Amino acid sequence: MTHPIAALPPRVTYRGAGGQVYLLAWVRTPAGMLARVTWCETYEASTDYRWQVTDAPVSQITRVEGQVYVQVPVIAQGETEYYSPEQPQSWRKR
């Protein structure tokens, strides 16, 4: 039996990240659907890296052929003063 942590989320292409990212969830907001995605950024001059997470507009998301999306959760989220679907941002900046 596979350990639940061993399973990776499906990949999508996110224009804001410039390539493929992992799709963590679909986020339903009063303004429409967003895609919660994550990716790892690495730095050329060192071995440092960091994980980015953002809620991206679905208009900037493209599905990747061969990926299975049926188990991606849908989360309902209301807007707050720090959260605007028109201005997606990293969770670190919230």
Q: Structural domain boundaries of the chain?
A: 1-68
User: Could you read off the pLDDT of 28-75 as tens digits, one per residue?
Assistant: 998 899 999 999 988 877 788 888 999 999 999 999 999 999 999 999
* Torsion angle defined by CA atoms of residues 52, 54, 60 and 64, in that order, rounded to the nearest 10 degrees: 60
pLDDT greater than 50 at residue 88: yes
pTM greater than the 0.95 cutoff: no
- pLDDT at position 42 is 84
DSSP secondary structure string for all residues of 31-93: TEEEEEEEEEEE-TTSS-EEEEEEEEEGGGEEEPTT---TT--EEE----TT--TTS--BGGG
- Give dist(CA 46, CA 27) in Å, integer: 34
pLDDT of residue 94: 42
The pLDDT, as a whole number, for residue 1 is: 56
Q: How far apart are CA 78 and CA 28, in angstroms?
A: 8
93 has pLDDT over 50: no
